[in-house]
Amino acid sequence: MKIEMVPIGYVRTDAQDLPRHWSLSDVEGSLVIDKKYIAGIKDIKPGERIVVSFNFHKSPGYTPGCLNQASGHHGRPMGVFSICSPWRPNPLGLSVLEVISVKQNVIFVKGLDMLDKTPILDIKPHIEVKHDCPSYRAGD
C-alpha cells in the first residue's frame, strides 16, 4: 500500500527559537493555505482552536534505533509512540493552535511549534468534550 499526501499550505514564522511542543508555545505566525482550498477555511473564526497536522520536513531520517528515545519531558528513554519526537517512522506532527484572525487564505495563529516553511497536511477543528454530568463514563 502506498500513501501519498500533498501539502495544503505551509507555515510562516520569523521565530528562530521554538518550543518543542505547542502546549508550551506563545509563538505567533501564520498558516498560508493554497488558494484552491480557500473555501475550506471559510468557517474558521478568531478565538477558536484548530488541530494542524504537518510534516516534519527537516527531521533526520528515521532508523530502528529511534524506537526508544530520551524524552526531555519525562527525563528517561521512552518508546517513540509515547513522546512527541520528530524522529518517527512517519514524520507527522500535530499541534493545537489558537486562531488570531483569518484573512483570505492566511490563518494567523498563536502556539506555533513548527519551523518556517513547514508543510501543512490538514486542519481540523479542536473539539473539547465537556462532561457536565459527574457520573458520565465513556460508553454511556
Q: What is the SS3 string spanning 78-114?
A: EEHHHCCCCCCCCCEEEEEEEEEEEECCEEEEECCCC
Q: Name the DSSP letter for residue 37.
A: G
How many other C-beta atoms lie within 10 A of the C-beta of residue 24?
12
- Please check whether residue 45 lies inside any domain of the structure: yes
Which letter does DSSP use for residue 61 in this model?
A: P
Task: Please tell me the total count of domains within the chain.
Answer: 1
Q: What is the mean pLDDT of residues 24-45?
A: 93
Question: What is the pLDDT, as a whole number, of residue 80?
Answer: 73
Q: According to the model, what pLDDT value does residue 25 have?
A: 74
Q: What secondary structure letter does DSSP report for 59?
A: S
Task: Judge whether 121 lies within some domain.
Answer: no
Percent of the chain with pLDDT over 70: 81
Ramachandran class of 7: left when φ > 0, alpha when ψ lies in -120 to 50, beta otherwise: beta
75 has a pLDDT exceeding 70: no
Rounded Cα distance, 21 and 18, in Å:
8
What's the domain range around 37?
A: 30-52+92-114
Q: Is residue 22 part of a domain?
A: no
Q: Is residue 74 part of a domain?
A: no
pLDDT of residue 124 exceeding 80: yes
In degrees and rounded to multiples of 5, residue 66 shows phi and psi of -85, 0
The pLDDT of residue 81 is: 67
Using a cut of 0.85, tell me whether the model's pTM lies above it.
Answer: no
Q: Tell me which residue of 39, 47, 50, 62 sits closest to 11, measured CA to CA.
A: 50
123: pLDDT strictly greater than 60: yes
**In-domain check, residue 42:** yes
